[in-house]
Amino acid sequence: MKMMMNKISPKSLCLILAHTLYWSCLIHIGESTSTYSEHACTNSTASASTLSQDATYLANLNLLLSYLNSNATNDAGFYQTTVATGTQDASTGLFQCRGDITASLCRECVLNASREVLKRCPQEKQAVIWYDVCWIRYQDSSIFLPNPGIVPSTSLQSSETVREAERFNKLLAGVMDALANKAANSGSVKKFATAENNFTSSETLYSLAQCTPDLSAADCNTCLRSAIGFFPQCCSSKRGGAVFLPSCIVRFEFYPFFNSTTTPSISTDQVPLSAGKGKKSIITIIAIVGPISVVLVVFLIGFCFLRNKAKKIKKYLSLQRQDSVRNEISKGETFQFAMVEIKTATNNFSDENKIGRGGFGEVYMAWELWKEGTFLELLDPTLRNSFSRNEVVRCIHMGLLCVQENPVHRPTMATIVLMLNSYSAILPPPQQPALYNHNRTQSSTTTTGEHQFHQSMPNSSQWSANDGSMITEVYPR
């Protein structure tokens, strides 16, 4: 697998990713995602505190919501449980997913709803939040209140109205009556039913009804008919509407908002979807997502092309710089100083300016000038009016650190790079360089350590300038 990846060029990999992104967008055009609809919050009359004031109940509620999330992939699409049963801080809750959605979409919806409900009901201990494909309900007791889940209630409606309002309202009433009976008396675990009915030759009415399975058939019927009873108030003559109760929902639209291939439907005089609003909705989605996908593909291709081109240019410039340096060195134009310049700088190699000697020559007066605070005298006189004092001092300082006698005190190359690039790096004070002659005017006077060192060295190798010896013996860092 690794060998195959090495053979794929960056350009080809970008094309593969762009192709995958494009088709992923097209595949997911028709896949639904959970969308917030409504919520209702309340506190029971027996509760003496709000949610934020009751830390124990809040902890139990968070635990309850986590239990709901972890069980959101079961096949039933429903789960109910209680935390701290029988105590005054008990929390009971449930989730219900719509009967036509997948387990993955159910889990997504429950997760989103459990996060959103605490934001929208931060002080209340009882709440219901409805999404288009699921809802969550909880309250501060060990059981739900003894009613078929009809309080509180909320509704949504379309802003558009239908033609032939009287005929439409009559059709809707008949469809919803049939749906309530079918959902309440469903033999399956899901008390769920849908319907598709022809309104005109070019319009189809899509309807849905569902109860939570903890209700009996009678309670489910009561809940659904309570919800349908709100239609004349909220949704009369509208092209869409929904009523949400804690234990049931009813909804109708003039476009297919549910998956009819996985739900039991009541159908009369159905017409092809291409003639209804559903087809227009799909076309609209494709018209929006299609161009966006194309733009993303073009952007990815352009980005990959420019990145590869930039790499080639960078490599070319790097090779050019290397060739230029080689040419300068080969011509002998780099790192050269005239002998007269060297003699002038060292006062004709005077011993007065010498602080040590090694295999690469003599080290001159930097340490002495550093101690005296006159280190700028090291500069060529022609440069003394065109330099940065801080940079010169820092370079001399680093040079002295590099010739410390103890290898541990010498900076590493990584530290040198840091010192050169960052003025925030603090440089330690330099100490006397290795084998520095303390009394240059009396060269015969040496310290005890120096005397012992000289005695320990063979006479033929002491202070040799040509035998490859260094200022000090080489100790590995």
Same fold, 36-139 and 154-253: yes
Calculate the alpha carbon distances from 476 to 356, 407, 408, 412, 472 in Å: 21, 7, 9, 12, 12
Closest residue by Cα to residue 96 from 207, 221, 191: 191
User: Do 39 and 114 meet the contact criterion of CB atoms below 8 Å apart?
Assistant: no
Closest residue by Cα to residue 149 from 278, 40, 269: 40
What's the rounded Cα separation, in Å, for the pair 445 and 451? 9
Confidence of residue 231 (pLDDT cuts 50, 70, 90): very high
Domain boundaries, the chain: 36-139, 154-253, 346-421
What's the rounded Cα separation, in Å, for the pair 170 and 35? 30
Query: Which CATH superfamily does the domain covering 154-253 fall into?
Result: Gnk2 domain, C-X8-C-X2-C motif (3.30.430.20)
User: Do 43 and 126 meet the contact criterion of CB atoms below 8 Å apart?
Assistant: yes
Per residue in 67-87, pLDDT (tens digit) is 999 999 888 899 999 999 999
DSSP one-letter string for 132-200 = SSEEEEEESSSS--SS-S-SS-EEEE-S-B-SSHHHHHHHHHHHHHHHHHHHHT-SSSSEEEEEEEEEE
Residue 355 has pLDDT above 70, yes or no: no
Q: What is the mean pLDDT of the chain?
A: 78
Per residue in 255-311, pLDDT (tens digit) is 999 998 766 566 554 333 333 444 455 566 677 777 888 888 888 888 888 888 788
User: Assign residue 463 a region: left if phi > 0, alpha if psi is -120 to 50, beta otherwise?
Assistant: left
CATH fold for domain 36-139: Killer Toxin P4; Chain A (3.30.430)
Per residue in 332-345, pLDDT (tens digit) is 444 455 666 666 76
Long-range contacts of 290-299 (CB under 8 A, 24+ apart): 290/26, 292/25, 293/21, 293/22, 293/25, 293/26, 294/22, 296/18, 296/21, 296/22, 296/25, 297/18, 297/19, 297/21, 297/22
pTM, full prediction: 0.52
Cα 230 to the center of its chain, rounded Å: 44
Confidence of residue 470 (pLDDT cuts 50, 70, 90): very low
Return the axis-axis angle of helices 217-228 and 165-184, rounded to nearest 10°: 160
- The torsion of the CA quartet 186, 188, 194, 195, rounded to 10 degrees, works out to -60
User: Do 125 and 47 meet the contact criterion of CB atoms below 8 Å apart?
Assistant: yes
For residue 343, what are its two tokens?
Answer: 């003699």
